[in-house]
Amino acid sequence: RREDLWVREGKILNPEKLFFDEKGSADVQLDCKGSIIAPGFIDVQINGGFGVDFSLATDDFKSGIDLVSQKILSHGVTSFCPTLVTSPPSVYHQVLPQINVRNGGAHGAGILAGAHLEGPFISKEKKGAHPEHCIRTFEAGAFQDLLATYGSLDCVRIVTLAPEIKRSSEVIRELTKRGICVSLGHSVANLSQAEEAVQHGATFITHLFNAMLPFHHRDPGIVGLLTSDKIPAGRRVFYGMISDGIHTNPAALRIAHRAHPSGLVLVTDAIAGMGLAPGRHTLGQQVVEIDGLNTYIAGTKTLSGSVATMDACVRHFLEATGCSVETALEAASLHPAQLLGIEHKKGTLDYDSDADFLMLNDSLYVQATYIAGEEVWRQDALGM
């Protein structure tokens, strides 16, 4: 709809109250020249970018996170969950204390909810680009094993694990109790194991179709959760999709979207090589090669993350599914906010929500990015 967007003190304002209660008007007016205004994008799975790898414990880790959070503003990302792939415990112990939840601003996108830990409690058969020697199972202590591996859960928001691992149910329950989102992925789970995990509190699927059993009509595996009738009442299962034109065939993207549109969350799964020239880069403990839009573990044809940006994923999703512009934008804003339980302040343009928004042209290229009502990035050639 065509209308004005009112912002004050970092929040989206209900103009009626301003007019009728305060008899006020706008101090500053900006002509958006017919741009689309949309909520800022939220990336819940990003392993790094621009030469920075979140799964490497370096002395300047904090400046690396700052660089990525600054650079993704131009792609419309206003909040993100730094993601670590399967790593040795020493890496988690060094890196996690350096990830602090913080608001976004001119310095870069916000780390709203904390980190996404993808592994190491995953299936060796579906390890994808994760190093096999670091993969672990739950031993006698189960949840204590997980705590010992990570060191701390203070700044953790999502944990990806394989639900078929013995004792995973109690771990899922414990994580959920602490407000941590459990995601199913890198797994050979059948549908009933996946349903049981959801009944214990799991709410997300890590990059649907990738690193899991392919859909089979007699046992659809984790993919079957999209149409399962055993999801607890009032619970929605969300699923991530890497809409880069490489990881998922457009037909598979359409099947998932038509089966369960309200659960689709676009993720980049971007690696350190995003934004850099083709060649050799890292993903945690592995060396990866970038060839065009393909990223492989060096010397293999195993896909390892992507180099796609979030705005490119939104455009590809729109084109592949033929969905409405609103639907494409919600998959990168509203749905990830709902997954993280922060939709009351992020992912919408509702009154009283945070004024994190984008100006886009009709082809969904980002023209300007705003966080808390302040312009943090602008396409120079706009002439606004």
Q: What pLDDT sits at residue 381?
A: 53
Cβ–Cβ under 8 Å, residues 286 and 129: yes
Q: What pLDDT sits at residue 382?
A: 47
Angle at 7 between CA 29 and CA 342, to 5 degrees: 150
Counting as low any pLDDT under 50, the low residues of the chain are 382-384
Distance CA 80, CA 53 (A): 15
Distance CA 31, CA 366 (A): 16
pLDDT tens for 280-313 read: 999 999 999 999 889 999 999 999 999 999 999 9
Partners of residue 48 on adjacent β-strands: 53
Q: Has 303 been labeled as part of a binding site?
A: yes
Q: Has 129 been labeled as part of a binding site?
A: yes
Cβ–Cβ under 8 Å, residues 242 and 267: yes
Q: Has 186 been labeled as part of a binding site?
A: yes
- Say which of 43, 53, 244, 269 is annotated catalytic: 269
Q: Has 93 been labeled as part of a binding site?
A: no
- Tell me which CATH homologous superfamily contains domain 7-378: Metal-dependent hydrolases (3.20.20.140)
Predicted TM-score (pTM) above 0.85: yes
Rg (CA), the chain: 20
Among this protein's residues, is 269 annotated catalytic? yes
Q: What pLDDT sits at residue 383?
A: 43
pLDDT tens for 127-167 read: 999 999 999 999 889 999 999 999 999 999 999 999 999 99
Distance CA 118, CA 157 (A): 11
